[in-house]
Structure 1
């Protein structure tokens, strides 16, 4: 029994770390632009399909190391171009946040149908990053979970370093805290919006690569990730990166134990129940602030 609970705990910790990586990206975009990206889940699927094409289709040399080297710049370029072509033209219009929600919803439907046409409706599977397990007697931990946890946490730490120690990171923080003040001091808001969109695409796409080996890649699989990322963002506090990190690990653990005790069909019910209970007590979320 103890070994089973340890396995569930490790699964929750691993999934929570990847959810944190992805939810922070969604929180970043909302914190800077106050617009919600409905295509976020489709960007997750894009990361998974890129990994599948590189590994199963091309058979790229170097395994997952080469996958990350190739896929991450492609994801960043895709996010940047998408923001410039689709989101940026709407920014000068009234109620542009609502229009962004609508157009990214359309983009998500387009991308999902493209995946189905290009790759078929059958789910794709990927090999693990590493094989083998760490045998600790009664406790057995797969090396795959350890690597996913390390890579996810490394990605989060790298993101925090960029925010705190680079010019673009400080510009992002300034625009998120005071958009008008950032404009007055000469910070190019359009570049910041494009950069945050590109960074968030990399983060959710990287999550797609990491989870593709544990779960299947499917044309509509991104909607589940979109829902979970939204729940984490709202639970942690809209626009609060620190709150999103806490919420991701909490809900990752909740998902693992609810799935173990009651079955996976009860996971989303439990997530929304916890979200609604939290918002009833703290409408601004765990770490959010009143606007």
Structure 2
């Protein structure tokens, strides 16, 4: 009996960890390219959830999650791109612009969260499961919903990896992240790359919001919990390290599942920060980060 319960918790941790990995990679991407932290990242998570809720529940759009995801990708890319151009890009010409970006994205987060409350009300929203039923493996039942969430999250990560390694914009992103001055010298439009990475990261966290909204509720202030977890994963894996972020996401996803099961959900953030502090005390650059 206990083995079955712990396997169920393992599956839950693996599912959540895959979505956390998708979202943490987006936050790591923005930091790795621009060296600035986006405090509105959690609000973009809520944006994805509310976008899907409007289409599926409020408007009753036919086509299911496939249609929602096809519509969400260009919407989220456009939202992130325009946000960077209008709000973040003008600050880059000023001194200490990284700190100013943190402050203005914090203001954007508060603006968006209050906007969600005005438009959708304080009550929590939920999305229907992407798939019902379960797969039976002996004494273990794995919900088809968890399988699809895992598959879609991993597909998003693989698509991102393909984008970085096999497209011109992906190679430009890597060049700017490795050497911004050298990238500018060889003619790479650094400002466009900054905006593009902002748009890509918005897609990744927004899709995470759509996937997790099936298991959890959407609320106006729900993005702050995701922001904290994404920051912990990014710091734990190593600031700017995508591989480190992936590894940290699955480790902390498992830790969250087992701590929540054994001690209760109120202890989850305590455990996450405890692991983060212990890791940074031993290895300040994170699991796979480098000194810079």
Bucket of the pairwise TM-score, normalised by the shorter protein: over 0.9
Could you list the runs of 4 or more consecutive aligned residues of structure 1 that deviate by over 4 angstroms after TM superposition? none
Asked if 1:77 corresponds to 2:75, the answer is no
What residue is the counterpart of 1:8 in the other structure?
9
Question: What are the Cα deviations for residues 14-44 of structure 1, in whole angstroms up to 9, with x where unaligned?
Answer: 0000000000000000000000000000000
Map residues 1-291 of structure 1 onto 2, 5 A cutoff. Answer: 1-291=2-292
Question: What are the Cα deviations for residues 243-278 of structure 1, in whole angstroms up to 9, with x where unaligned?
Answer: 000000000000000000000000000000000000
Question: What are the Cα deviations for residues 200-250 of structure 1, in whole angstroms up to 9, with x where unaligned?
Answer: 000000000000010000000000000000000000000000000000000
Size of the alignment, in residue pairs?
291
Question: What are the Cα deviations for residues 117-140 of structure 1, in whole angstroms up to 9, with x where unaligned?
Answer: 000000001110000011122100
For structure 1, which segment, 231-240 or 134-143, has the greater mean C-alpha deviation from structure 2 after superposition? 134-143
Partner SS, residue 91 of structure 1 = helix
Query: In structure 1, what is the Cα distance between the partners aligned to 2:28 and 2:53?
Result: 27
Partner SS, residue 134 of structure 1 = strand
Query: In structure 1, what is the Cα distance between the partners aligned to 2:58 and 2:115?
Result: 17
Question: What are the Cα deviations for residues 38-95 of structure 1, in whole angstroms up to 9, with x where unaligned?
Answer: 0000000000000100000111111111110111110110000000000001111100
Query: In structure 2, what is the Cα distance between the partners aligned to 1:88 and 1:30?
Result: 15
Unaligned runs of 5+ in 1: none
With normalisation by structure 2, the TM-score equals 0.99
Query: In structure 1, what is the Cα distance between the partners aligned to 2:85 and 2:50?
Result: 23
Partner SS, residue 142 of structure 2 = strand
Query: In structure 2, what is the Cα distance between the partners aligned to 1:67 and 1:60?
Result: 8
With normalisation by structure 1, the TM-score equals 0.99
Displacement of 1:2 after TM fit? Answer: 1.1
Cα RMSD for the two superposed structures? 0.5
Displacement of 1:175 after TM fit? Answer: 0.5
Question: What are the Cα deviations for residues 167-188 of structure 1, in whole angstroms up to 9, with x where unaligned?
Answer: 0000000000011111111110
Partner SS, residue 51 of structure 2 = helix
